[in-house]
Structure 1
Amino acid sequence: MRNVRAVTLYLLTALALSGCMRQPTAMVRPHDALDALAYGGRMASAPPPAGPRLWNTPGLWDTPAIAATPVVYAAAPPPVVHDPAYRLDAGDRLRIVVYGQEGLTNTYLVGAGGSITMPLIGAVTARGRTPAELSAAIAARLRNGYIRQPYVAAEVEAYRPFFILGEVAAPGQYPFVPNMTVESAVAIAGGFSPRARRDLVIVTHTDARGTVRISVPTATPLSPGDTVLVDERWF
């Protein structure tokens, strides 16, 4: 019995000593962000990847901050500048402002007779005058017994239309757009027809000097009230 007890005590002592001599295993915390959140701690900084980078792009672990590329926006188109020497005629729509006089400030259309009609002073001739000359004429009429010191400004709100005839898809009358050329007028009318002559057109222009009818290329600028005639080609 003593031998059995001695053997048992020896075995228990050996097992205890072997457990104490075993080295503890360290727990390795994962580097994944979601795992780091699960462990409740900050993710340890991982070393930069070995080997060359694609396109020499700076890594996320580099100390200098990556400079942001500035965003370049396209510049707004310049505003349309009205020609101060433009001569008014029938079909022009004007904005007349008489400062301090709301009853006189309004939009006026130059009629077929070449005049506009305003309260108090009646008809005022606009044909052949510039907007500045029309403003002076209106101020002179108002100063004659109506307003002591009138201040008047006139501006073209919409130009008189132009006309296009002949070999285009949709001939007719169209609103004039500043800086218009014969080419853009043809585009507004739907383009050339299959039989159109495309190198030259005939433009009829009327001003204070009279009426002129001339053959011009498609890059020629147009004026309000012009008539464009697209001829048929012969071959």
Structure 2
Amino acid sequence: MRKITKIVHLLLGALLVGTLAACSSGLPPLSSAPVAETTPVYRIAAGDQLQIYVAGHSDLSTTVPVGPDGRISIPLVQGIDAEGKTPSQLAKDIEKSLSHYVRNPDVTVIVRSFNSSFSNEVRVIGQAVKPQAIPYSKGMTLLDALTAVGGLTPYAAGNRAELIRRIDGKEKVYQVYLGSLLNGDMKDNAPLRPGDVIVIPQKLF
């Protein structure tokens, strides 16, 4: 009986030592691991319809198209470069321009509709090798679109990409796993529709 008790004590001691060693290993909790990827953002293109809202100034708030030259004009400010900017970047530029006429302007920019010329195309933007608009063909899939744009850049966060699709007049956003798809996981090879927009974000290093 004493022998059994001694063995139990030895086992408990070994377990305690192992537990203390694990606690002192310095490994951070998983929840503190850095996030390696950014949230994807949409960049404005010629032909997009933008809603410009200036807080407290309904006379300056308006909805405008982005011209073929990539610019917009709003009350008090003409010829603002919009193409290639995110809505938040454009809002800050408009605030800077309006500050000559309005005290502390607060501007919000919302993309109300994408360029209608893309209605028969699939648009790939962000971290693709050759981001572009691709003519839609019947049966086109995500893999077809990725092949057409040359795949992903080394900086792409493929598994955080988003597919933006208009359904019944409303835009829906779906997460798509392009990294897994390019690694052979064909269950991620979703069918595409005309007018789809694929947004590929960049990793955060």
Q: Tell me, yes or no, whether TM beats 0.5.
A: no
Query: Highest Rg: 1 or 2?
Result: 1
* Larger proportion of helix: 2
User: TM-score, length-normalised on structure 2?
Assistant: 0.43
